[in-house]
């Protein structure tokens, strides 16, 4: 009877352990697959931003003229009086607008390691007619306000992001009924899975090997397998925690704990685009510590670091859950206030300024350090900003106006007009 009980216990323990190892393996595979998708998203986003920068340059200059050749014939879908010209040496030139430029670049990339193209639900050029996947993606951009989409289809990662109507686009697309901010189309990037698999296959092989060894060891050791499973789960948890810590370090400033510069700028770009499309208020606050170099010189850099951390905490205490704060520079912070008009943003800025002015920061050697901040505020609907960079510049100008007026004060874009 005792032997029978031991056999039952062994079988139950073995089954439970096999289930745990299987679940652990499945979870690890999902994590690695998600990592592959994220790598593909970053790769696609980088290619998209590069092509979009080229398109923006072309649009800013109204297109570019090139000699008419077999590969660069006049664009039959460009209806402007100055499409074709002749230069002083008698060469016939034709205008390459952003759409035609994108088409030529995509043709050069065709068949290579990375392919790209442009599409639209209402294409002027029939060759830009979308596939079903592209059509569904653009519908999501319009209805769900997604900023990008990446999927694995037929052994290729496919990335697509919307193209919005800008003022320069209206010259060619007004007749289609578009207005600034509409989703005019999308640009798609695709590349083979082999470019990503090489990065994650080794980790998958290590995961498979580790789980196989664990299962064999558990099978052979019977009841002794439980400590091994627990150890394996602990290692997997540690690996997950390490990945989370690496991701956290990549997103947050190590000293203050707020978003780092690159990530707060990414948030700003997305929030700006959404507010502009939906015609909602959106405000930006720039905060800069006054005489911070003097604090470092007087109390030392450790005290200066403590001042930066405490300042970030005080700013964060005055924000809502959906607001964002990031460290923009050495002693400068950037605050994003979605769905906030200028008057409300000025009230938030004044609370932050007053709180910091009346607070004391203590360190082990210096129990009472006081500081102040200068603050600049800008709001989207009160400006002619066409992108997030212009809004930052406007807030920065207001901040430096506050500096010039004596520091420890709040200035806005309205003050710039009366200065």
38 lies in some domain: no
Q: Is 334 or 418 the better-scoring residue by pLDDT?
A: 334
Asked which of 196, 222, 238 is the last residue of a domain, the reply is 196
pLDDT tens by residue, 347-382: 999 999 999 999 999 888 788 899 999 999 999 988
Q: Is 138 or 284 the better-scoring residue by pLDDT?
A: 284
Share of the chain above pLDDT 90, in %: 34
43 lies in some domain: no
14 lies in some domain: yes
pLDDT of residue 2: 46
Average pLDDT over residues 201-219: 70
pLDDT tens by residue, 381-412: 888 888 999 999 999 999 999 999 999 999 99
342 lies in some domain: yes
Asked which of 188, 216, 250 is the last residue of a domain, the reply is 250
Same domain? For 398 and 292 the reply is: yes
Domain containing residue 362: CATH number: 3.30.70.270
- Find where tokens 């990503």 sit: 196
22 lies in some domain: yes
39 lies in some domain: no
Same domain? For 336 and 400 the reply is: yes
pLDDT of 14 strictly over 80: no
Same domain? For 192 and 236 the reply is: no
CB 163 within 8 A of CB 183: yes
pLDDT of 72 strictly over 90: no
Same domain? For 296 and 381 the reply is: yes
Same domain? For 268 and 409 the reply is: yes
Same domain? For 276 and 312 the reply is: yes
pLDDT tens by residue, 322-331: 999 999 989 9
**C-alpha distances out from residue 187 to 47, 148, 184, 410, Å:** 10, 10, 10, 42
- The two structure tokens encoding residue 273: 């685009």
Same domain? For 413 and 266 the reply is: yes
Share of the chain above pLDDT 70, in %: 84
pLDDT of 150 strictly over 70: yes
* Structural domain boundaries, residue 400: 261-418
Buried b (16+ CB within 10 A) or exposed e, 101-126: bbbebbeebeeeeebbbbbbbebbee
349 lies in some domain: yes
Asked which of 250, 273, 290 is the last residue of a domain, the reply is 250
pLDDT tens by residue, 165-179: 776 666 665 566 667
Entry pTM: 0.46
46 lies in some domain: no
Q: Cα–Cα distance between 324 and 34 in angstroms, integer?
A: 26
Q: Cα–Cα distance between 256 and 328 in angstroms, integer?
A: 11
pLDDT tens by residue, 279-314: 999 999 999 999 999 999 999 999 999 999 999 999
Among candidate residues 254, 282, 287, the one with its CA nearest the CA of residue 267: 282
- Find where tokens 């005019």 sit: 184
Same domain? For 68 and 169 the reply is: yes
pLDDT of residue 402: 96
- The two structure tokens encoding residue 309: 């951390």
């Amino acid at each position: 009877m005792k032997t029978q009980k031991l056999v039952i216990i062994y079988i139950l323990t073995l089954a439970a352990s096999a289930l745990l190892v299987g679940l652990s393996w499945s979870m690890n595979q999902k994590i690695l697959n998600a990592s592959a998708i994220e790598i593909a998203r970053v790769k696609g986003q980088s290619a998209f931003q590069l092509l979009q920068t080229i398109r923006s340059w072309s649009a800013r200059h109204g297109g570019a003229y090139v000699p008419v050749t077999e590969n660069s014939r006049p664009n039959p879908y460009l209806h402007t009086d100055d499409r074709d010209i002749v230069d002083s040496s008698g060469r016939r030139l034709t205008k390459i607008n952003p759409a035609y430029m994108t088409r030529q670049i995509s043709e050069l990339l065709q068949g290579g390691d990375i392919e790209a193209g442009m599409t639209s639900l209402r294409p002027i050029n029939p060759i830009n007619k979308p596939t079903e996947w592209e059509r569904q993606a653009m519908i999501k951009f319009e209805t769900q306000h997604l900023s990008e989409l990446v999927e694995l289809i037929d052994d290729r990662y496919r990335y697509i992001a919307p193209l919005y109507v800008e003022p320069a686009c209206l010259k060619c697309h007004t007749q289609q009924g578009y207005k600034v901010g509409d989703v005019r189309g999308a640009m798609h990037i695709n590349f083979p899975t082999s470019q990503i698999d090489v990065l994650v296959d080794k980790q998958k092989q290590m995961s498979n090997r580790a789980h196989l060894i664990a299962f064999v060891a558990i099978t052979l050791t019977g009841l002794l397998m439980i400590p091994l499973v627990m150890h394996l789960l602990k290692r997997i948890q540690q690996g997950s925690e390490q990945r989370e810590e690496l991701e956290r370090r990549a997103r947050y400033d190590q000293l203050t704990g707020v978003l780092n510069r690159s990530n707060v700028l990414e948030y700003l770009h997305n929030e700006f685009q959404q507010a502009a499309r939906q015609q909602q208020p959106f405000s930006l606050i720039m905060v800069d510590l006054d005489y911070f170099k003097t604090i470092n010189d007087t109390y030392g850099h450790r005290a200066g670091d403590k001042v930066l951390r405490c300042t970030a905490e005080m700013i964060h205490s005055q924000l809502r859950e959906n607001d964002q704060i990031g460290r923009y520079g050495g002693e400068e912070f950037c605050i994003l206030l979605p769905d906030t008009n200028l008057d409300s943003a000025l009230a938030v800025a004044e609370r932050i300024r007053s709180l910091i002015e009346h607070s004391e920061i203590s360190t082990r050697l210096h129990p009472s350090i006081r500081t102040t901040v200068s603050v600049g505020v800008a709001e989207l609907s009160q400006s002619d900003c066409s992108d997030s960079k212009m809004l930052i510049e406007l807030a920065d100008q207001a901040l430096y106006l506050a500096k010039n007026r004596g520091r420890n004060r709040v200035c806005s874009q309205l003050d710039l007009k009366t200065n």
